[in-house]
Structure formats: C-alpha cells, structure tokens
Amino acid sequence: MREQMLEVKSNRGRIIPCCPNCVRYYTNCMSSSDNAATKMQRIAAVARAFTPVTPVGRLEMLAGRMPQLTDIVNAVSQSGQHVGLYGERGVGKTSLANVLAEFFSGALQEHVQAVLVNCSTEDSYETIWENVFADLGIPLHEDEVAALSPENVRRRLQGLKPPALIVLDELDRLNDDYALTALADTMKTLSDHAVPSTLVLVGVARSIGELVGEHASIVRALVQIEMPRMSVPELSEILTTGCMRAGLDIQPAAVEEIAVLSEGLPHYAHLLGLHAGQGAVQNDRDEVHLRDVQAAIPKAVERHTILNDYQQATRSAHRDALFAEVLLACALAPKNPLGFFTSGAIRDPLEVIAGRRLEIPAFSNHLSQFLEPTRGAVLQREGSKSRYFYRFTDPIFQPYVILNGLSEGLITDEQRRQFQTAEDAAELIPGEFEPNAPPKLF
C-alpha cells in the first residue's frame, strides 16, 4: 500500500493519500524522520519561491512590469534608440535588468545577445566596457582597454553579430564624471551610425536627469522608462505565483493583506510571503491563511537588516519620548506620488497612535532629529522653511516602520488600514522632477 500511495501525486507534485486506508497508513505508519524530511523539503521550496534578499533572476519569476518590458522591446527593435530605466530603490529595477538578458537571449536569441554589467564606485569608462566586452566573449588586451573611446567602442559594436543588448545596472553608483560624459558620447555615435546594439542604463533616481546629473546629452539620447512602485495586482501576482511554485494555495484575504503592507515594494511581498508560507507548512497546511500573515509580521521585523537602523532612529533615554510614535505617523501619513508628506499630514495618524491630539510644535523637533546622522538620517527634507516636505530617505524603511508598529502594538491592524488604504495626498511636489525646479501642483 505504501508503494501505491507514493505513486499518487497532486498537480503540484506533492504526495497525497488516495483513500481512507492510505490516510491512516500515512498518519500512523510514516516515520517521524520521513515527516521531518518532507516538511523541510517543503520549507525549502517556499524559500526558493520567495527571495526577499536577492533580486529575481529568472523571467518566469518576474511578476508584472509588462509596460516597462514592452517599452524596452520597442527600443531594442529600433536602431539608434537606447533606454534609461530609473526609479526608487527597491522597486525591482535590478530584477527587471536581470531577466532582460534571459528574455532577449531566449525569446529573441537569433536577433540579440544580452549582457548585464553592474557599475561600482570604482568603475571608469574603460573598466565598464572591459567588462561588457568580456561578457560578450571579446576579451581585450591591456593596451586595448586603455585605448577605449566612444568611437572605438562604436566600431567594435558595429560589426557585432548578432547585435547586443547591454544593460548597465546601478549607474547611480558611478562616481567618474568623465565616464558619464563618455557614455553620452557613445550613445550619440551609436545613434548617428545606426548601430543596432542597444544600451540600457539602470539606476536609483526620481528622474533620468537626477540619474545622470548635468549630462543633458544623455537624456536626449534615451527612451526614459520609469519603474514605479508595483500595483496591488502586480504584488498579488508575486504572491500567487510564488505560492504555486511552492506547492501552496493562498487565501485572497492573505494576498490582499500582504499586498497592502508591501507599500508597492516587491521586497516585502517576498519577505512576508516567505514567512507566511513557511508558517503554513509548519502547521501542516497546504493553504496560506490570514493568520499566517499576521504571525509572519514579527518574524519579518526581528530578522530584518533594517532593525538596527530603526533602533538608532527611535531610541531615547526619556520614557515619554515619542520617536517611535512620530516615525510611525510619518510612515502612515498621506503622501504625494513621489512619497513626500507635510508635517501637518502627520497629525491625524499620530493622534490615533499616541491617543491624544498633538499639534506640530509638539513633534517638530522629532522631525528635525530624524534628518540628523545621529538618528540615521532616516528622513530627508525639501522645500522652504514656510513649506517643508519630508520623505523617507530609503523607501524600504517606511513599510518596516509600519510592520514594527503592528508587531509592537503601537497600532492595531484596523487602525493601520484606516490610513494605509487612504488616498494619496494632493500636495505640492517639491522640486518636481529636476533639482531646484519650482514646486508644481498636481
């Protein structure tokens, strides 16, 4: 009977009993070591399906982002066009960059060869192209590397068959100003000579102008593609696809809870999906419930790399200090599309958190301290003294503050929903998209 049972599998590949006798056999006769091994295999499957620490590296694991992928395909299909992919930290730019190589090397293998090179603070124009050509299978001698110039690079790419899709990720880390100038000249000469190879520049920024600084010639040579925060349907796709890969089902309420808590950032969808999925497996269930998500929140908080940063921002020797409460109110305050909020927007969530109405003078010093290195500079400020705007320096920090507030009991889930599902603020955008530009109404 054991052999008969082992041959019966579900559509997800899990062993299941095929009759009541098999249920009794499976329950009573399977050794504890077999049970433990099976559970560990399922836990490992969840860990493979949800990867909060590393970017997605395979096309089949990429959720959403079809508009951005379509724009890139259109640019690659037209000689002389190049791409600038920008957005906040943590929105999935590197994941998209990773799968571009697989997509173009697989679906369009006869037309394009793709490479991905990560830029660093130590890179120069020469080292970037040395890495690119090495990945293309064109190793260079030391004297050839030293002689690299925009025209030299253009000649090498012009005769390349098939043409290349060259993704330069983390461009914002590049400190060499000449390298940016030379990249602009490279794109110009590639466009002027209709070279079919395409450059994709990827980096953390609010705009292409912020990414490349004063190099306006780069902006003119690029198809600009913004990577916004993910929508709830896109985050839901991450969760349902991940659970399917792990051999699990997930309740709609659990999907919605994680999608809202993630604040548009795929990192948190993966993080909460990982802990909730493993919680369901630990409880010998094949379905992730809402209670698994709630149980996952403390685990996500206490094991997160941001924990020390949060403690630095909120610690105080005074019992009545409100650093944790004010920071949580900042995380829950209504924001404009660029993530900015005003001090006045903090008052309503802070009233719920603190249990009393506090006006701006009562917490303005807290906001000022959150700008200082001694508290990790977790907030940044723009605008003038009469009209300051604040935002979290690292977007990853904001959802963590909310999760910590839930874990510590600073706010209930019902109270959190009251603010987190509210519409964004219709406030002035400080600096619009370019540095020092005048504020602009929505």
Last residue of a domain, one of 284, 302, 320: 302
Rg of the chain over Cα atoms, rounded to whole angstroms, equals: 25
Higher-pLDDT residue of 392 and 209 is 392
Do 429 and 338 form a contact (C-beta atoms < 8 A)? Answer: yes
Q: Which domain holds residue 294?
A: 31-55+232-302
Same domain for 270 and 368, yes or no, is no
Q: What is the pLDDT of residue 408?
A: 94
Is residue 25 predicted with pLDDT exceeding 50? no
Q: What is the pLDDT of residue 423?
A: 55
What token pair was written down for 158?
């012009």
Is residue 35 predicted with pLDDT exceeding 50? yes
pLDDT-based confidence at residue 244 (cuts at 50, 70, 90): very high
Q: Is residue 130 included in any domain, yes or no?
A: yes
Q: What sign results for the dihedral spanned by CA atoms 280, 281, 282, 283?
A: positive
CATH number of residue 112's parent domain: 3.40.50.300
Last residue of a domain, one of 302, 321, 342: 302
pLDDT-based confidence at residue 441 (cuts at 50, 70, 90): very low
Q: Is residue 12 included in any domain, yes or no?
A: no
Same domain for 256 and 111, yes or no, is no
DSSP string of 65-115? -HHHHHHHHHHHTSTT-EEEEEE-TTSSHHHHHHHHHHHHHHTTTTT-EEE
Q: Is residue 44 included in any domain, yes or no?
A: yes
Q: Is residue 218 included in any domain, yes or no?
A: yes
CATH number of residue 42's parent domain: 1.10.8.60
Residue 273 dihedral angles phi and psi, to the nearest 5°: -60, -40
CA distances to 272, 386, 425 from 344, rounded to whole Å, are 31, 12, 11
Same domain for 118 and 189, yes or no, is yes
Q: What is the pLDDT of residue 440?
A: 35
CA 154 vs. chain centroid, Å, equals 33
Give the separation between CA 217 and CA 393, rounded to whole angstroms: 28
Provide the domain count of the chain. 3
Same domain for 213 and 245, yes or no, is no
Same domain for 182 and 248, yes or no, is no
Q: Which helix (H) or strand (E) holds 197?
A: none
Q: Which helix (H) or strand (E) holds 229?
A: none
Region for 429 from its dihedrals, namely left if φ exceeds 0, alpha if ψ lies in -120 to 50, beta otherwise:
beta
Give the separation between CA 406 and CA 413, rounded to whole angstroms: 7
Higher-pLDDT residue of 397 and 104 is 397
Q: Within a 13 Å sphere around the CA of 189, how many CA atoms are in the beta-carbon half?
A: 15
Tell me which residue has tokens 């929903």. 417
Least confidently predicted of 27-36, 110-119, 147-156, 397-406: 27-36
Q: Is residue 2 included in any domain, yes or no?
A: no
Same domain for 100 and 187, yes or no, is yes
Q: Is residue 433 included in any domain, yes or no?
A: no
Higher-pLDDT residue of 275 and 183 is 275
Same domain for 222 and 236, yes or no, is no
CATH number of residue 356's parent domain: 1.10.10.10
Same domain for 261 and 117, yes or no, is no
* Closest to 188 measured CA to CA, from 112, 76, 82, 72: 82
Do 424 and 335 form a contact (C-beta atoms < 8 A)? Answer: yes
Q: Is residue 405 included in any domain, yes or no?
A: yes
pLDDT-based confidence at residue 433 (cuts at 50, 70, 90): very low
Same domain for 253 and 181, yes or no, is no
- Counting Cβ atoms within 10 Å, is residue 221 exposed (0-12), middle (13-18) or buried (19+)? buried
Same domain for 183 and 86, yes or no, is yes
Last residue of a domain, one of 251, 270, 302: 302
Q: Is residue 144 included in any domain, yes or no?
A: yes
* 3-class secondary-structure state, position 157: helix
Give the separation between CA 420 and CA 56, rounded to whole angstroms: 27
Same domain for 323 and 416, yes or no, is yes
Same domain for 291 and 322, yes or no, is no
